[in-house]
Structure 1
Amino acid sequence: MIISDRKILIYSLFALLVFVSSCKEVKETKLFYTKMVVPTVDTENSRWFFFTSASRPFGMVNLSPDTETKGAWGSGYRYQVDTIKGFSHIHAWQLAGPSVMPVTRDADCSDYYSPFSHDKEEITPGYHRVYLERFGITAELTSTKRVGFHRYQFKADENPVVLFNLNGELGPSLMKNGSVVLKDGMHRMIGEVTNEATFRRPKDCKVFFIVDFSAPVDNIEKDTITGNYRVSFQRINEPLLMKVAISYTSNENAAKNMEEELPGWDFDKVVKDSQEEWNNMLSRIKVEGGTSDQQKRFYTDLWHALQGRRIISDVNGDYPDNTGELFRIGHLPVDENGKPLFNHYNSDSFWGAQWTINTLWGLVYPEIADEFVQSLMQYYKDGGLVPRGPSGGNYTYVMTGASSTPFIVSAIQKGIVKDNIKPIYEALKKNHLPGGIMSKSGYEHNTNIGGGLNNYIKENYIPYPLAEVEYGAHQDGVSQTLENAYQDWTLAQLAHKLRYVDDERYFTQRSFNYQNVFDSISGWMRPRNKCGQWKADFDPYQIDNGFIEANGAQATWFVPHNIEDLATLMGGKKKAADKLHHSFIEAEQLGFTAGTSHDRETHPEFSRIPINYGNQPSIQTAFIFNYLDKPWLTQYWSRKVVETVYEGIIPARGYNGDEDQGLMGSLAVLMKMGLFSMKGGCSLEPQLEIGSPIFDKITIELNSKYYTGNKLIIKTEDNSDQNVFVQSAEWNGKELKNWSLPQNDLVKGGTLILNMGSEPNKQWTSELK
């Protein structure tokens, strides 16, 4: 066959167009997962550490605009506030950091706020751009792990000015002793600022920083009223670039952080690198099907699961250790090349992590779980206790119990952490004994009474009230008893693994202490005083009063390690299932949450709800039906909760409660994938339980450094808003006659196929193997 030159030319041009088109498509879809994130979700209800824009996953720097600057709650980036009050580099648990603001000559340290419009704003993971209307300045933000990077476009006739706000209230902290000085010529400043101690973080915490400018500094003025600084420049013809590297140990280490992470000045490249890092993390889970909004919300949830908890160690492994009497600079272990073996972290509490990041990180991001275990153990080596929420290199004793125990045990049971298991066990055991962290109530820094551990050991429950004196916060005996019992059970599982027979027997016995706060007459968990008397005029729908951020109706179901025995206390599985089903019907009338934000859950019109998916104490309840021989109710109610609570991509709502540094984001991701772990992954053989996925196909990339499998795929057949019930299931081509699968099987890779329908299949067995 002879093809003419004209046809060859036409074919060649067509091929070229296809190639160009495909290249454009690759370029446009390379950052697909990052572009799916909607950072403004729930920002009308934001708190200091909730919002993230110009940051990396778990980065020391979390650079973003602040529209409210006072208080841990209701501060940071609040969507409805139309005024920028600065760009802060640290939005962490109980910590803030250098705040800066580009302005013009007519502004000073007492008058510098600027209106802005969301119409001229762009936000994506790793990047934030706003237009400061008062000054006519376009401000762009990005970062590396430890360095904030700014680009400011001033008007052509303006001399650039940058304010450094280093003193005064900023988020959760009172900032003091802030200062800057020029260093090594006119392009570099060094500075420091101190976070004053708070009720939660009992010691001051210094932040050191180095600032490099793309233009020489013309003048630095210290404001006599505020103690803050005004840095001025001569008029320039290009944008002003500014790099701010931070460290919790020294200015020298801040300089090393900058030298290692951001030696150059290519702002666009840093934006691209940041977005690619986020995209690589988010793309570990690929979802197909559902609506566009459902996919966007899924990746927004996943994005939240990978932020909030923040690095505090420098690139060389130095970190702040505030666990002792005096501050010291600690040094992480390093490899043969001098690189730290892991990062050290600040973190809010692991309270509720057993149903959230334990499972998500343990399946999709095992390297993160591994690092956090090593970091928690570093605190133990330094201060003698495994923390449940450290800040500034110190203990905060946030919340109650020993919430880090299930997190660490889960990582061991899944084979993520394999070394030094016996020393880890001894560290955890110390937390469960008198003088350990279980002895302390929330923020109880100087005593070991408020946790009620002595009562828990002797009387087998914690009384309410415990004492006339408030030794800390959350002295709510029923919740403390329930949490301790579950955490004791998780420690007993590790004792069994290590063949510590006596310890296993002892902690297993303690794990039944929940029985002593169950009132068979009322049918609820109920407070008891020191004399053993039940609380008079008990109202199971009254929040607090013996329960931590919950009421009796919600907290009653907190026996994740022994649902079967809880059902026996209630009169059998049928009665327990009917009781829980009725609670869901009632809770649905209020949208399954106590209002749309955490600050509303104590209000009478919101608090009287039997199940609250806006806070941690009852977020496992939909999956309890699996254990009560009614898995179809797990499928039904878990789908209802997802559609009602964790839906939408608007600023007005999102988590309808307390999104504690990725906990609720993780829960939303898991429920939308139809996966859960009632026992927090702490069983001798951790299981993942099946719910009702909202997508047609979910592909999870498994980390080859930890797991032998390549991909875990979940497919749903005939899935829809009506077809929420599993009719049958197959795992790697074999019929699945159970609603759970061992984690160890799943991480070997394979395909789970769920055939969905509109009616419950009550023949699909609900019995455990």
Structure 2
Amino acid sequence: MSTKTVLILLIVALSSCNHKSQTNYIQFIDQKIGTNTSTTLLADGSQQIQAADGQTIIGISAPFGMTQWTPQSQSGQQKCVAPYYYGNIYTEGFRATHWLNGACEKDYGSISILPSTLSQELKFLPTKRPTFSLIYFEDISPAYMSVGFVQEQLLTEVTGSKRCGLFRFSWLAPVDPVIMIYINNDYDKGFIHIDLENQEIVGYNPVSKFYRNKGESAGIAGYFVAKFSMPINEYGTFGNFEKEKGSTTRKDQRQIGAYVSFQPENSEPILLKVGTSFTSIENARKNLETEIEDWNFNATKNKLEKQWNEMLGRIDIETTDSLELSKFYTALYHSLLHPRLMSDVNGDYPVFNAADRIQNSGEFNYYDDFDSWNTSRAQMPLLSLIAPEEYKDMIASLLQKAKDGNWLPASPLANNFTMASTGDYTSSIIADAAAKGFDFDYKLAYNYLKKNATDIPTAGELNDGKGRPGSESYLTNGFIPLEEPLMNFPQTESQVARVLEYSYNDWCVAQLANRVGENADYNTLLANSMNFTNVFDEDREWMNGCYADGSFVTDFDPDQAQPFFNNRTSRQYTWYVPHSVPTLIELLGGKAQFEEKLSSFLNSAQYKHADAISQHVPYLFNYIGDWATTQKLVKAILTREYGADVGGLSGHDNAGQLSAWYVLSSMGFYPTCPGSNEYQLSSPIFKKATLHLNKKYYSGKRLILSTDQEAKSIIFNQVTLNNKTIGNSITHRDIQLGGELHFSKKQTYSKE
């Protein structure tokens, strides 16, 4: 019998013993979805023009966990390179990752763990680490993973908790088994130490800034403590491409790491548990001692499975289509990974945008990695429905960042300001939470939202990612002229894109101003929210670039990508007026011309569903009374743009935004304008969907969305809420009160 055959049998045997048959929601998740190049189609039926990766990974962690554990197929922490891509048969170990799932950012503060044997060459050199492996995909869930290393005759199993990971290494015939831990730092920074007295390895990976000032400290680090289930035998460290047996410490060298070996008896598995933290090694140890107290692998796995099943079970889907179950619960899983928990079990967290300062959050959990430009549109609104307790703490975290950083961050990542956003979408998130009635200090929040909207940041503040670029011209002229490049930002122009986005952001801030009784501010902000009209070219009937004298670009093609549209086209950006669609209809010449242009856009390759700026657009037909077309388009996108395979996402998932669109749209409703408390209806693709709601926030306790039959391609013409016929939208109050939203099909349909 070959070594490979023996290993496969070992995988099957161990997995059968240790991974009980699931009978609940977790069994429907397929973590392969979105882990490689897109295989979906464009609106015109053609293949994606450019290869687009979902950028998702296989991740073991709790919902919104601090750290995910993933097989590593890509080394380093480069921007837009995920630590894992499906199809690579070589594994470089298992990474404790802080990858923004589905995004084009970079990992930070990560370490990797690679099991091997001393009888073979120690794989301390990066070029030697790739190891032929078999990932047992049938057994993977968010709570468990098993990977076989053929040459080493080794099965690695992984489970974990919110802040910690637990590994079980089973060698078929262990000969000097060894475990390596190495720091993934691209700037030759980091620390690792073998503590022989406590039989553990500790260390940290410093985090550098993302955009401007690359390489400079971000003021945080990924700290860890690793403990083993048996005594360490041999040990050593490596760095600068050299290893030293018997050494215990390395710091600030290239590719540093440590290794320890063991002498198990009777093929006894070796267990490793790792605590992580963003504040200190001591708190990483506290996190580990609290979350994984013993060495009971199965108990830890079962506890994590229970957490996921409870969270996923907040939406119950009834359908006979197994592929749709897989797509739905995988999308729901992807929607529940971010924002990331950043505080420790004792409440300690790193102060936002501050060098190595620690505070205590007290009564709330502190979160980070919001990717607000994307997630404000669907993912955060989804969390407000199904994870309101966590969502409340996320809002508290955003306000804490504003207090600590003296500006409300537009898109906080790695606990710092960034320049990743062309708009001010944290304002949208907070205004939406206030409109829904979540409890926080509205006046305090408004002061920070107003500062973003009305204060002009200095050049130094802009360079740090604070405030709105181009705000002086925007506030003075009502637009940002093309002569004013925004040189300090990754998007050096994007003037028109910012005018459109700031207009919506101002509308959101205005809603909060009204709520706190700032009537004069409300009127001013509401007037500013109409600034999008200043970049509408009446002659060409599209949004267009505008010069300081008020004239528009004459060499104009609505299908040509332009820097002032953030390298998108006018046809793609013109529709971004979610807060004032009736005004847009009027600007475009009325309902007939609006419908013609909208249909042309949505049925062309110009519509890129993975681009969040366009994801509300299929629902705009509702605003002209054409609910049938909204349903038709949404259901076509659900089929065309989402698959049940590795290429099943049409672009980056962006911290769960693309997946959240699927979750909400497949149930039949979507928040086209967060902050308005209104959801536009499409219709469900399932026979029945039940939202089990937290009664503390939703007195009705549940909302049922039902149809007369399986509805994947059916276009309905009547909807009732608690037996009363309604139009093509519902309110957040309707969801709070609960009941049943029922979709049916009569003999005739009218657009009116």
- Common fold by TM > 0.5: yes
Q: Which of the residues 652, 663, 666 maps onto 1:658?
A: 652
User: C-alpha distance in 1, partners of 2:649/2:358?
Assistant: 38
Q: Contact conserved, 2:482 with 2:564, CA < 8 A, in 1?
A: yes
- Relative to structure 1, is the Cα distance of residues 228 and 124 closer, same or farther in structure 2, using a 3 angstrom cutoff? same
Q: Which of the residues 615, 622, 631 maps onto 1:619?
A: 615
Match of 1:21 in 2: none
Deviations 1:606-632 (A, max 9, x none): xxx1x2111111010111111122222
- Relative to structure 1, is the Cα distance of residues 157 and 302 closer, same or farther in structure 2, using a 3 angstrom cutoff? closer
User: C-alpha distance in 2, partners of 1:740/1:669?
Assistant: 17
1:263 matched to 2:283? The reply is no
Match of 1:597 in 2: none
User: C-alpha distance in 1, partners of 2:204/2:262?
Assistant: 21
- Relative to structure 1, is the Cα distance of residues 290 and 567 closer, same or farther in structure 2, using a 3 angstrom cutoff? farther
Q: Contact conserved, 1:48 with 1:77, CA < 8 A, in 2?
A: no
Match of 1:182 in 2: 195
Deviations 1:319-372 (A, max 9, x none): 112523x32011112xxxxxxx22112214211334302431222222232111
User: C-alpha distance in 1, partners of 2:710/2:467?
Assistant: 52
Q: Which of the residues 630, 636, 649 maps onto 2:632?
A: 636
Match of 1:452 in 2: 470
1:528 matched to 2:541? The reply is no
User: C-alpha distance in 1, partners of 2:636/2:343?
Assistant: 42
Match of 1:85 in 2: 92
Give the letter aligned to residue 615 of structure 1: D
- Relative to structure 1, is the Cα distance of residues 271 and 181 closer, same or farther in structure 2, using a 3 angstrom cutoff? same
Q: Contact conserved, 1:492 with 1:505, CA < 8 A, in 2?
A: yes
Q: Contact conserved, 2:117 with 2:177, CA < 8 A, in 1?
A: yes
User: C-alpha distance in 2, partners of 1:468/1:642?
Assistant: 37
SS in 2 for 1:664: helix
1:397 matched to 2:412? The reply is no
Q: Contact conserved, 1:718 with 1:756, CA < 8 A, in 2?
A: no
User: C-alpha distance in 2, partners of 1:559/1:450?
Assistant: 19
Q: Which of the residues 649, 670, 677 maps onto 2:671?
A: 677
Matches for 1:62-81 after TM superposition, within 5 Å: 62-70=68-76, 71-81=78-88
Match of 2:534 in 1: 516
- Relative to structure 1, is the Cα distance of residues 466 and 276 closer, same or farther in structure 2, using a 3 angstrom cutoff? same
1:61 matched to 2:79? The reply is no
Match of 1:233 in 2: 262
Matches for 1:62-141 after TM superposition, within 5 Å: 62-70=68-76, 71-93=78-100, 94=106, 95-105=108-118, 106=120, 107-110=122-125, 111-118=128-135, 122-141=139-158
Match of 1:357 in 2: 379
Q: Contact conserved, 2:53 with 2:649, CA < 8 A, in 1?
A: no
- Report deviation, 1:52: 3.8
User: C-alpha distance in 1, partners of 2:459/2:680?
Assistant: 33
Give the letter aligned to residue 27 of structure 2: K
Q: Which of the residues 749, 755, 764 maps onto 2:744?
A: 755
User: C-alpha distance in 1, partners of 2:467/2:359?
Assistant: 30
- Relative to structure 1, is the Cα distance of residues 47 and 91 closer, same or farther in structure 2, using a 3 angstrom cutoff? farther
Q: Contact conserved, 1:366 with 1:703, CA < 8 A, in 2?
A: yes
1:210 matched to 2:225? The reply is yes
- Report deviation, 1:721: 4.4
Q: Which of the residues 678, 687, 709 maps onto 1:687?
A: 678
Deviations 1:527-553 (A, max 9, x none): 123333322322222234211353211
- Report deviation, 1:307: 0.8
- Report deviation, 1:433: 2.1
1:483 matched to 2:501? The reply is yes
Match of 2:697 in 1: 706
Deviations 1:642-672 (A, max 9, x none): 11112x2111x22211211011111111110
Match of 1:566 in 2: 584
User: C-alpha distance in 2, partners of 1:720/1:48?
Assistant: 27
Give the letter aligned to residue 310 of structure 1: R
1:420 matched to 2:427? The reply is no
- Report deviation, 1:478: 1.0
Q: Which of the residues 331, 351, 355 maps onto 1:321?
A: 351
- Report deviation, 1:144: 0.8
Match of 1:19 in 2: none
- Report deviation, 1:520: 1.6
Deviations 1:192-239 (A, max 9, x none): 222333426753432221111001112321124243222222244311
- Relative to structure 1, is the Cα distance of residues 729 and 48 closer, same or farther in structure 2, using a 3 angstrom cutoff? closer
Match of 2:235 in 1: 220
- Relative to structure 1, is the Cα distance of residues 447 and 209 closer, same or farther in structure 2, using a 3 angstrom cutoff? closer
User: C-alpha distance in 2, partners of 1:177/1:353?
Assistant: 32
User: C-alpha distance in 1, partners of 2:152/2:95?
Assistant: 19
Give the letter aligned to residue 556 of structure 1: T
- Relative to structure 1, is the Cα distance of residues 300 and 446 closer, same or farther in structure 2, using a 3 angstrom cutoff? closer
Q: Contact conserved, 2:686 with 2:712, CA < 8 A, in 1?
A: no
- Report deviation, 1:262: 0.9
- Relative to structure 1, is the Cα distance of residues 547 and 509 closer, same or farther in structure 2, using a 3 angstrom cutoff? same
SS in 1 for 2:484: coil
Match of 1:595 in 2: none
User: C-alpha distance in 2, partners of 1:519/1:649?
Assistant: 42
User: C-alpha distance in 2, partners of 1:87/1:156?
Assistant: 22
1:50 matched to 2:56? The reply is yes
- Report deviation, 1:189: 2.5
Q: Contact conserved, 2:66 with 2:341, CA < 8 A, in 1?
A: yes
- Report deviation, 1:468: 7.7
User: C-alpha distance in 1, partners of 2:374/2:280?
Assistant: 34
- Relative to structure 1, is the Cα distance of residues 272 and 261 closer, same or farther in structure 2, using a 3 angstrom cutoff? same
Q: Contact conserved, 2:452 with 2:468, CA < 8 A, in 1?
A: no
Q: Contact conserved, 1:287 with 1:295, CA < 8 A, in 2?
A: yes
User: C-alpha distance in 2, partners of 1:744/1:182?
Assistant: 57
What is the root-mean-square deviation of aligned Cα atoms in Å?
Answer: 2.4
Give the letter aligned to residue 714 of structure 2: N
Q: Which of the residues 207, 230, 239 maps onto 1:195?
A: 207
SS in 2 for 1:108: coil
Match of 1:432 in 2: 453
Structure 2: unaligned runs, 5 residues or longer: 1-18, 38-51, 101-105, 242-254
- Relative to structure 1, is the Cα distance of residues 435 and 162 closer, same or farther in structure 2, using a 3 angstrom cutoff? farther
User: C-alpha distance in 2, partners of 1:209/1:81?
Assistant: 28
Deviations 1:170-210 (A, max 9, x none): xxxx462231221533x222222223334267534322211
- Report deviation, 1:30: 6.2
- Report deviation, 1:413: 0.9
Deviations 1:486-523 (A, max 9, x none): 01001111111222110100100000000011112222
- Report deviation, 1:165: 1.3
Equivalenced residues, count: 691
1:732 matched to 2:728? The reply is no
Give the letter aligned to residue 396 of structure 2: Q
Match of 1:380 in 2: 402
User: C-alpha distance in 2, partners of 1:125/1:556?
Assistant: 39
Q: Contact conserved, 1:358 with 1:410, CA < 8 A, in 2?
A: no
User: C-alpha distance in 2, partners of 1:742/1:409?
Assistant: 16
Match of 2:730 in 1: 741
Q: Contact conserved, 1:253 with 1:314, CA < 8 A, in 2?
A: yes
TM-score, reference length from structure 2:
0.88
User: C-alpha distance in 2, partners of 1:612/1:533?
Assistant: 29
- Report deviation, 1:49: 6.9
User: C-alpha distance in 1, partners of 2:492/2:733?
Assistant: 37
User: C-alpha distance in 2, partners of 1:194/1:447?
Assistant: 21
SS in 1 for 2:206: strand
- Relative to structure 1, is the Cα distance of residues 284 and 478 closer, same or farther in structure 2, using a 3 angstrom cutoff? same
User: C-alpha distance in 2, partners of 1:631/1:716?
Assistant: 16
